[in-house]
Amino acid sequence: MTCWERKIINTARGSFEVFVKGEGNPICVTHHYSEFNHTGDYFANSFTENNMVYLVNLKEAGNSGKAHEAHELSMFDAVYDLEAIRETLGYAKWTFAGHSTGGMIGVIYGIHFSTSLTSLIIVGAAARKYANSSAECIYHPDHPHFDRMQHLIEVLKRSDLSPNERERFSKERTKLSLFHPDKYDEYFSLGIHKKMSAPRMNFFIREEIIFDVTRELEKISTNTLILSGRYDVQCPLSFSIEMNKLIPKSELVIFNESNHYPFLEEKMLFSQVISTYLKETVSY
């Protein structure tokens, strides 16, 4: 497996650790509270064959700069940070692709900066709070796996876990969001590993409670591809259907044998959908 090239991008909004891989048109990928490293990211890998992918550690993640004010950990501020990175790199436009909370950041990106985006790809995400909106969501108190998921999240915030402990708890947490949990080792076989930024996760838990940008989705003017696993327990399909109805130039693709990770659970189909979409919509 080829490692990702590490770069520090110094912008007017601070310094950011960015990992780069691939060649071609630029695609930015990030997640609200993941800490990426040279091993990369399974979702970001989906785009590296035909594109130059920039995998961004936001503030308080990895070796990116610290947040001096609490609001700097918000999804809204994250969008402004990504814009600063794009400008520093010299791109007039790029594609943004986000999975889960990365997709939520992408929605805000599209609302406020569609003119900076050649296209927007949102996978397994939502445009409003999801945890207490649907009992189909594993973060809803009525979901049968709610208590176990909450426990695993708290455990993974700890800094004193051994590598083996972190791997074991992380694996259990991920298996709760797979259509075929028994295929975990097959899906996650590349030695990619990442951590969780506790400050960012803690801020997100508060931010998600009041998150709702559905009334602004009509402002997204860039081409938007929405992808969802039919059995997604983190951001249930209903939220992707809602976004598709409200975003003008959007297309929804549903993966019928996937939970929260269609880019692994139906990898070949996911790659085909992405490749076709980018060829048809992105022109420079």
d(CA 5, CA 219): 35
Single-letter residue type at 53: V
Backbone angles phi, psi at 114, to 5 degrees: -60, -30
Query: Positive or negative CA dihedral for 79, 85, 170, 71?
Result: negative
pLDDT tens digits in sequence order for the chain, 284 residues long: 678 999 999 999 999 999 999 999 999 999 999 999 999 999 999 999 999 999 999 999 999 999 999 999 999 999 999 999 999 999 999 999 999 999 999 999 999 999 999 999 999 999 998 877 778 899 899 999 999 999 998 998 888 989 899 889 989 999 999 999 999 999 999 989 888 898 999 999 899 889 999 999 999 999 999 999 999 999 999 999 999 999 999 999 999 999 999 999 999 999 999 999 999 886 54
Is the CB of residue 74 less than 8 Å from the CB of residue 203?
yes
d(CA 121, CA 47): 11
- The candidate with the shortest Cα–Cα distance to 177, out of 230, 128, 144, 138, is 138
Is the CB of residue 86 less than 8 Å from the CB of residue 116?
yes
pTM of the model: 0.93
Can you list the domains of the chain with their CATH numbers?
5-131+192-281 (3.40.50.1820)
Decide: helix, strand or coil at residue 124. Answer: coil
